[in-house]
Amino acid sequence: MKPKFTSIFYRLLWSYSAIFLLLFTAIFSVLFIKISTNQVHCTISKLHQEILNDRHQLELELFQTLTNVKAWSTLSVMDNLLTDDADQQLMRRLETLKQQYQLKGHVYALSNKGVLVAADHPIAKNLNVNVWYTQTQTSEPFINKHVSPVDGSSIIAFWQPVKASFNDRQIIGYLIITYPWQDITEFLANMPTSRHLMLFNQAGVTVHQDQYLPLINSIKMLNSTDKKSWSSSWLTRYTETPDDAYYEGTINQQDFFIEILPNNTATPLTNVWQWVSLVESHQIYAPIKSIVIDILELGSIIACIAFFIIYLLSQYLSKPIQTLTEIASEIANTLDLSKRMDSYGNNEIGKLATSFNDMCDNLEKMWLEKNKINQDLQALNRELEQKVAERTQHFAWQAHHDTLTKLPNRELLDEHLTQSIARSHRNSTMLAVLFIDLDGFKAINDDFGHEMGDYLLIDIAKRFIASIREPDTVARLGGDEFVILLEIEKKEDINKPLERICALINEPIIIDDKVLKVSPSIGVTIYPLDPSNSDGLIRHADQAMYQAKQKGKNQTQFFDSET
């Protein structure tokens, strides 16, 4: 009797046979791929070692520069930083050191107050070297890539404190040695063209890349390049070494193997940069092209045989499954749950048909319940959306206003100040910025309590609001400090508003038979007589207010850039 292959067992048997054939093909291919990648391993390891050697060479050169600045900072001639003719004596000594050691950069001496005292070459007086002096107040002896305050070139720098020979705890100045960034660029540009190098600072911004690479501004932009997941799954798995982390990515339609070198204690100076090596993919794949071709030819033959077998099996196995799929698709498109599947006997397919029909029955019952639930959910969702909108509007107001006085806070003040500056510039008018501090407010808090102090601040705020006009602004910065923005035609127009504001503040506040009295200290700066930006205007008005406070209570002081 001819056997009937109607059981799902036989169908699965043939399916597993086909799957086994495909798995055999995959294993056969992986073995060939592993052999091929072993040939690539040497290439990647060599390139990795080359860049480590170059980095070590640069590390040694920078370390020598740091060693020099440490040694020279202890020279006895540095005691001249305490004398009046320090600049001449030090300049001659610094010139000698530069010539003797053939330094690529320059040597500078700063006083302990950050004043540039001497250099190995003639310099202008009163140069602003805050970029160096600020770094000397930290513990890091290395200053990353920046613009030289002396000649405007790109440099890095090393510094060391200069201590008095008679007291090694007294810092009398600082010694700075610069290193031209151009020399680092030229050193890195002389690397072999088989690989490319990029450097990123601690903020992730590109500080160096060679001319053969597409423009990449930051390491974030590099990390956003398209990565080839298939490469990471087999090639890089077999080419990784303990010190590297390669992945393949596409930059401007060009494929690269990218390695982000980890920092380590052996290179402390160059650790300030993130080193990234890029190698064009075709250089990595070149040794395995012939092997890949052989694998593809053999794999194609095996694939053709496997696909032919799968095709025959699919014809045999797919008929009942296809019928089920068509009915399920029709139900999905028409939502007609009355469709049912014919029985296929007592085998697994027949049981599947019965289960499918039962499922349709249950879905039809659930559909009505689902519609009712959806209606309830939609009503609830609309209610929640309305509440969220109201709460969002409330939070937005709180984010820009002081909770006690309801006045604009610093953030909203900055917006109004920026708009007022633009309006003043556009209309050729002036903008007065008043920084007000309440004299005697602390005493009221101490004598009567914070609740009474808060009541006073609220009353003062109401007086301010009543005394200004549109589009003027009054804001509270915190504590007893307020800022008022007044738009005026000329400088003299500020006098009457100042008198009115002083009178409002000086007027006593009576609360529960208690007389509260404060006076204002007011600092004033006027745009565009003071051409600063918004932060600068507030800072200058604050400075003027402190000058007013120094003169006594109830005083007004205009900002003067010369003082």
The CATH number assigned to the domain holding 260 equals 3.30.450
Report how far residue 331's alpha carbon sits from residue 354's, in angstroms, rounded to the nearest whole number. Answer: 16
Q: What is the mean pLDDT of residues 251-266?
A: 82
H helices, E strands: number in the chain: 14, 18
Report how far residue 104's alpha carbon sits from residue 120's, in angstroms, rounded to the nearest whole number. Answer: 12
**pLDDT score of 539:** 94
pLDDT category of residue 348 using cuts at 50, 70 and 90: confident
Higher pLDDT, 457 or 52: 457
pTM higher than 0.75: no
**Is residue 423 domain-shared with residue 541, that is, in the same domain?**
yes
**Is residue 445 domain-shared with residue 497, that is, in the same domain?**
yes
Last residue of a domain, one of 366, 397, 428: 397
**Is residue 383 domain-shared with residue 514, that is, in the same domain?**
no
**Is residue 450 domain-shared with residue 355, that is, in the same domain?**
no
pLDDT category of residue 494 using cuts at 50, 70 and 90: very high
Does residue 525 sit within a domain?
yes
**pLDDT score of 3:** 44
Over 90: is that where the pLDDT of 133 sits? no
**pLDDT score of 317:** 62
Last residue of a domain, one of 287, 315, 345: 287
Report how far residue 478's alpha carbon sits from residue 404's, in angstroms, rounded to the nearest whole number. Answer: 10
Higher pLDDT, 288 or 242: 288
**Is residue 370 domain-shared with residue 477, that is, in the same domain?**
no
Number of domains in the chain: 3
The angle at the Cα of 265, spanning 261 to 271, to the nearest 5 degrees, equals: 50
**Is residue 433 domain-shared with residue 517, that is, in the same domain?**
yes
Q: Tell me: the pLDDT tens digits for 3-27?
A: 445 555 456 556 767 687 778 777 7
Q: Which domain holds residue 198?
A: 194-287
**pLDDT score of 19:** 82
pLDDT category of residue 469 using cuts at 50, 70 and 90: confident
Q: Tell me: the pLDDT tens digits for 401-454?
A: 888 988 999 999 999 999 999 999 999 999 999 999 999 999 998 888 889 999
- Candidates 509, 513, 538, 534; CA nearest to 524 is 538
**pLDDT score of 229:** 52
Report how far residue 157's alpha carbon sits from residue 97's, in angstroms, rounded to the nearest whole number. Answer: 16
Over 70: is that where the pLDDT of 105 sits? yes
Report how far residue 328's alpha carbon sits from residue 394's, in angstroms, rounded to the nearest whole number. Answer: 50
**pLDDT score of 233:** 42
**Is residue 383 domain-shared with residue 519, that is, in the same domain?**
no
Over 80: is that where the pLDDT of 32 sits? no
Provide the mean pLDDT of the chain. 81
Does residue 469 sit within a domain?
yes
Q: Best-predicted range by mean pLDDT among 62-66, 160-164, 302-306, 538-542?
A: 538-542
Does residue 294 sit within a domain?
no
Q: What is the mean pLDDT of residues 109-119?
A: 84
Does residue 362 sit within a domain?
yes
Does residue 463 sit within a domain?
yes
Report how far residue 544's alpha carbon sits from residue 523's, in angstroms, rounded to the nearest whole number. Answer: 4
**pLDDT score of 28:** 73
Does residue 311 sit within a domain?
no
For residue 492, how many C-alpha atoms fall within 13 Å in the half-sphere facing its CB? Answer: 0
Strands (DSSP E) found in 154-300: 154-164, 167-180, 196-200, 206-209, 226-227, 246-251, 254-260, 274-280
Q: What is the mean pLDDT of residues 127-135?
A: 87
- Candidates 479, 381, 496; CA nearest to 438 is 479
Does residue 137 sit within a domain?
no
**pLDDT score of 212:** 76
pLDDT category of residue 42 using cuts at 50, 70 and 90: confident
CA distances from 261 to 51, 130, 181 (A): 9, 33, 21
Q: Tell me: the pLDDT tens digits for 158-211?
A: 888 888 877 778 888 888 889 898 888 888 877 666 678 888 888 888 888 877
Q: Tell me: the pLDDT tens digits for 355-387?
A: 877 787 787 788 778 878 888 888 888 888 888
Burial 64-84 (b: 16+ CB within 10 A, else e): ebbebbeebbeeebbbbbeee
Does residue 19 sit within a domain?
no
pLDDT category of residue 85 using cuts at 50, 70 and 90: low
**pLDDT score of 314:** 65
**Is residue 234 domain-shared with residue 358, that is, in the same domain?**
no
**Is residue 434 domain-shared with residue 552, that is, in the same domain?**
yes
**Is residue 550 domain-shared with residue 437, that is, in the same domain?**
yes
**Catalytic annotation, residues:** 480
pLDDT category of residue 252 using cuts at 50, 70 and 90: confident
pLDDT category of residue 244 using cuts at 50, 70 and 90: very low
Over 90: is that where the pLDDT of 540 sits? yes
**Is residue 549 domain-shared with residue 423, that is, in the same domain?**
yes
Candidate from 132-136, 162-166, 517-521 with smallest mean pLDDT = 162-166
In percent, the amount of the chain with pLDDT more than 70 equals 87
Is 149:135 a contact under the CB 8 Å cutoff? no
Higher pLDDT, 102 or 501: 501
pLDDT category of residue 525 using cuts at 50, 70 and 90: very high
In percent, the amount of the chain with pLDDT more than 90 equals 20
Last residue of a domain, one of 262, 287, 312: 287
